[in-house]
Amino acid sequence: MSLTNKESGDSASTHAYEAQETQTHSRWKSFKDSFKAAETMTADDLSDSEMDVVQRANQNASNSQLSRRLKNRHLQMIAIGGSIGTGLFVGSGSALATGGPGGIVIAWVITATSIFTTMQGLGELSTAFPISGGFNIYATRFIEPAFGFAVGWNYFMQFFVLLPLELVAASISVKYWNDDLNPVIFVAIFWVVVFFITMMGVRWYGEAEFVFCLIKVVTVIGFIILGIVLVCGGGPTKDFVGGRYWRDPGAFAHGFKGVCSVFVTAAFSFGGTEMISLGAAEAANPSKAIPQAIKQVFYRIVIFYFGTITLIATLVPYNDDRLLNADSDVDATASPFVIAIVNGGIKGLPSVINAVILIAVLSVGNASVYACSRSLNSLAEQGMAPKWTGYVDRLGRPLVAIIVTNVFGLFAFIAASDKQTEAFNWLLALSGLSSIFTWMSINMAHIRFRAAMKSQGRSLDELAFTSIVGTLGSWYGFIINFLVLIAQFWLSLFPIGVAPNASDFFQGYLGFPVVLISYIGYKIYSKNMRIYIPAEEIDLDSGRSVVDTDLIKQEEEEELARRADQPWWKWLIGFVF
């Protein structure tokens, strides 16, 4: 009997071991299989072999196998996280030095209005067509493929170069606490962190951005509250600042040219808000998530930017030497946030601000891999990049594009040397105007989309979300960005405080000839000299999100009613976060 029991126990142990082995083997097999190509139907598999470039691009983008796992809160934080970064925490200091308090407030207000109209048009397009590539494919689809090629590759280059730059910037930010630290060590650490997050898939990227952006938002809100206290003389020094620095040294620095230079900086500081369109193809419920994100994100950016910019302009004089003596683009000592806090007599907080700057840099680096990989995947789907770069695995990751982007990030090890600064400046110059061109293409794509809807007798009632400013708003956004291009040309030709020189001109305006050459080169390659796609020929159906508009309106009314019954503090928390 005991022998039988022993044999029975051994048998149970054996079965348990085998089950564990099978489970381990199954998990390992699932892990390996996740890297295999997703099964998808592309235009190459379809019976119609006579498709032109636009039809093929539309079909491939509509059948993309990217994972749809981004939630509404992810989309909102991706959009806001792309714009709250070193441009606000540090770059606003150089803008204050060149434009003065009046200059930065005027520039940010006007620029924000153009971003508002652009985001409205983008929201309409992204809700109707939540397809792979977002604004990259919209340029090809609604304007003309050469525009899509030029804008798409320029946008790709912007973020392709940005990753190693941000890795180096993060390593420099760490030196704020200890100058003896070797930045190469931290470049390696941060590269591994970014690589790990981006390889985990879009859901983990969304969660990481949510945490990063939450920290930045809390910091900005805290600074706004603290700034109001300091302006009113509630700090340790009891110094009532009021409007002192608006009178002395004055509201404007370097006259009209200084204000123009701030317009350029303000425009670049909002770069990244368009990423919400890239995320549309990976949103779980785009018809609901995108309109909410478009509506809420802009107002949050307005509050955060206008609140901080106004307080910075009030608390820091534009002639403060610390604004002009930055050793790098992430030098916390040159941050107007830090200067305002130090002037207010508060100790300890500058280190906190530097920690937030470090997080902001990592957030931008993380976002750059996302934007770069999705842009390259979109270009591959359109036949504008090598086909192998559009490889999507079974987890819905554009695997090859992610790896290519991360591998280029290793260039940061070379760039850790100060001798490579000039090389990076020229790399950045290749795509320095990318955001401007992207926004102009979004505005023009929306205008052409509305023209196609009218030409083909389609009603706007078909759309789940429509721009409240319509095509007039898109024309306004286009014109404002065009004026920024003119201002940048003038400033590149005649820099502030420096004699005209070829180096400054091309570093400031090299992006324009690069885009122009890309456009003309694709025209010659494709042998298609058509300027734009006629409105009656624009495809309004491929990849179109068909929704019950009556149901969406009902849900919106129910949501408004629910919010009306909430206590004010719950509504406020929901609005901010």
Asked if 402 and 199 touch (Cβ cutoff 8 Å), the reply is: yes
Count the neighbouring beta carbons within 10 Å of the beta carbon of residue 406: 20
Helix axes 53-62 and 145-174, enclosed angle (nearest 10): 50
Q: How far apart are CA 462 and CA 554, in angstroms?
A: 15
3-class SS at 64? coil
| β-strand partners of 283 | 70
Count the neighbouring beta carbons within 10 Å of the beta carbon of residue 416: 20
Split the chain (577 residues) into runs of 10 and give each run's mean pLDDT: 51 54 62 62 50 73 70 72 69 84 89 90 90 84 92 87 80 76 82 88 83 85 89 85 87 85 79 79 76 73 80 89 64 76 83 83 84 88 87 84 88 67 67 85 96 92 89 95 91 85 85 90 89 90 70 63 66 58
- Give the chain's domains with CATH numbers: 62-546 (1.20.1740.10)
Q: How far apart are CA 208 and CA 198, in angstroms?
A: 9
Whose structure tokens read 């478009």?
A: 294
344 to each of 231, 240, 246, 341, 379, how far by Cα in Å?
A: 9, 10, 17, 5, 50
Residue-level pLDDT at 444: 96
Residue-level pLDDT at 30: 64
Asked if 538 and 449 touch (Cβ cutoff 8 Å), the reply is: yes
Question: Smallest Cα–Cα separation from 325: which of 105, 97, 171?
Answer: 97
Residue-level pLDDT at 47: 47
Residue-level pLDDT at 147: 92
Residue-level pLDDT at 449: 95
Helix (H) or strand (E) holding 219: helix 202-231
Query: Which is it for the CA torsion 441, 445, 451, 455, positive or negative?
Result: positive
Q: How far apart are CA 202 and CA 303, in angstroms?
A: 28
pTM to 2 decimals?
A: 0.86
Q: For 37, list phi and psi in degrees, rounded to 5.
A: -65, 140
| Lookup: tokens for 387 | 């086909």
Q: What is the DSSP string of 403-437?
A: HHHHHHGGGHHHHTSGGGHHHHHHHHHHTTTHHHH
Q: How far apart are CA 255 and CA 273, in angstroms?
A: 30
Asked if 512 and 430 touch (Cβ cutoff 8 Å), the reply is: no
563 to each of 25, 45, 560, 569, 575, how far by Cα in Å?
A: 50, 48, 5, 11, 10
